[in-house]
Structure 1
């Protein structure tokens, strides 16, 4: 058990959470970001992108609904751009990448609870059996029978592959995301050759446009996650501009609605730059979401750099996150 989880359980049992829950919330917007919804233990690919089961997502949504409005669309845009005053804590729930389980698992939960979600699909993956780079990296490392894996791009990396495959996967994911990795295709080819195994036929893995339109009709919102899920900081300004403007154009054409929000792929501090933010604004996005932790406190919100958190999988830890951010009495 982690120290954070242990502390959260102690605070809950001692009644601290109940006291915090009774306090007024601070003005701001807390954004919870998910990728995949389902059982991580059953995947052959990257387990790190699973944030919750369908049942756990429902529990999270009900917890939030009892304490703050869950918003999306124009309401969220107005709150984050200062067009509407923030008088309390609001929540938003986002989903990156557009995996099929967003439609089969997350969407039914949100619809049944009357909660809006914001989905950021990758244009090239829509309706496809694509295996993105993070899933391919995880599959190759998880299934190789070789004791050592190595790549030379962008700089040499050599990893011992033991019984803990998750520990061996993480260094390769970090290495791929380095800003100086200007040749992602070469990186993947080197890893394929080092691992000595190939990908299986996966079947459809991402939601299609018909499913997206059904979700929109039920009150869900969509935004851009670029055309190819490239790491924008690795690309030229011209390529970044194309990724953003073309993805927005296709989304508006397919879904028949104004697209005003963007989620930067990966979303870390090294995954996009100040120039990327300017390009996003020029491309017509009024909101652009990072993924670096923290929340959006009234008076310090930057619409081109909206903060999101990864919700803790255990409810007691999520309570710790939410109360710690929105009550300002202590830091979890």
Structure 2
């Protein structure tokens, strides 16, 4: 109920932005300041269901919602590539419209199967950041495996916490207890808070151990998702590049780089860049940190690895090295302006207005 009330209030504010002319004036201000909104998508799925492609709700948008978002954006923004942001525009005359760039993270297969036809049809440029260790493999992220395991398992078997799980931090134990009390197999959206608790309190080794332990506790082995490839193969990557999509780096392992020694992080930056350039035959000037987690030392590492721009958060303005461009992005998903069944332009206006004022 509370979420519905907030949604209604945001939609009302979005309508007021348009009705009062404030949205139009905001666009004019952004154009004058050469503002660029950079939007981040992850997965684009055909329909909204209980599994959500075994992903968190904040990573997913339906094809219909995605297409509508792009159509609205095209009406108000000049859609540009990230490459355009590397050009010195200090002497340019401000444009008639602010700019917007579309990006995808990770390298999900549905970016090729579902999103690519939409961006081509609407003639919207896009950039995709690849986690190269997953491209052309059967691997997928731990949270996809964990969601698959819990959605298809019986969490009530966890009512009595297995001894192997008692050493995990309280947020993880409490999240498992809440899932066990549901009395049914959870939908993917039920798992969002639990996944976030795991991300915040466990390192990669502890997470892998957690997935294996839960598999045993639920009577399953390592959760293999049969007959399903989640990530692109290199042929699809090359086809996307041939269609005008810019191919960029998201590292290799998708590990959070602030948790790695700087030299290990830099090694991933170098290796992923070289792999993409070898496979695609094009230069790779752009890098996006997994979860946008970065530090000044990591920005310097990205510069020495040969990148000209990085997408990162939590870095103060002006802290980046002189030779690299720091880009900030806005995460997009179904909940921005839809609920799996409908789309409300007013919610998108509200979302973008709030983001542009930060």
TM-score bin, normalised by smaller chain: 0.7 to 0.9
Q: Which residue of structure 1 lines up, in the alignment, with residue 312 of structure 2?
A: 290
Partner of 1:284: helix, strand, or coil?
A: coil
Q: Which residue of structure 2 lines up, in the alignment, with residue 69 of structure 1?
A: 78
- Separation (CA, whole Å) in 1 of partners of 2:195 and 2:57: 10
- Residues 1-332 of structure 1: matches in 2 within 5 Å? 1-14=3-16, 16-17=18-19, 19-23=21-25, 24-26=28-30, 27=33, 28-38=35-45, 39-41=47-49, 42-43=51-52, 45-48=54-57, 50-78=59-87, 87=94, 89-147=98-156, 148=158, 151=165, 155=169, 157-158=172-173, 159-160=176-177, 161=179, 162=182, 163=184, 164-166=186-188, 169-178=191-200, 181=203, 183=205, 184-197=207-220, 198-267=223-292, 271-290=293-312, 305-311=326-332, 312-314=336-338, 315-326=345-356, 328=357
Q: Which moved more, 1:280-289 or 1:239-248?
A: 280-289
- Separation (CA, whole Å) in 1 of partners of 2:304 and 2:168: 31
Contact 2:17/2:23, CA 8 A, preserved across alignment: no
Q: CA 1:30 to 1:154, structure 2 compared with 1: closer, same or farther past 3 Å?
A: farther
Contact 2:148/2:225, CA 8 A, preserved across alignment: no
Root mean square deviation of aligned Cα: 3.0
- Separation (CA, whole Å) in 1 of partners of 2:91 and 2:153: 53
- Separation (CA, whole Å) in 2 of partners of 1:52 and 1:280: 30
TM-score when scaled to structure 2? Answer: 0.78
User: Greater helix percent: which structure?
Assistant: 2
- Separation (CA, whole Å) in 1 of partners of 2:230 and 2:134: 8
Contact 2:310/2:325, CA 8 A, preserved across alignment: yes
Contact 1:20/1:323, CA 8 A, preserved across alignment: no
TM-score when scaled to structure 1? Answer: 0.84
- Separation (CA, whole Å) in 1 of partners of 2:337 and 2:14: 16
Query: Where does structure 1 lack aligned partners over 5 or more consecutive residues?
Result: none
- Separation (CA, whole Å) in 2 of partners of 1:188 and 1:120: 26
> For the pair shown, which has the larger CA radius of gyration, 1 or 2?
2
Query: Where does structure 2 lack aligned partners over 5 or more consecutive residues?
Result: 339-344
Tell me the matched-pair count: 318
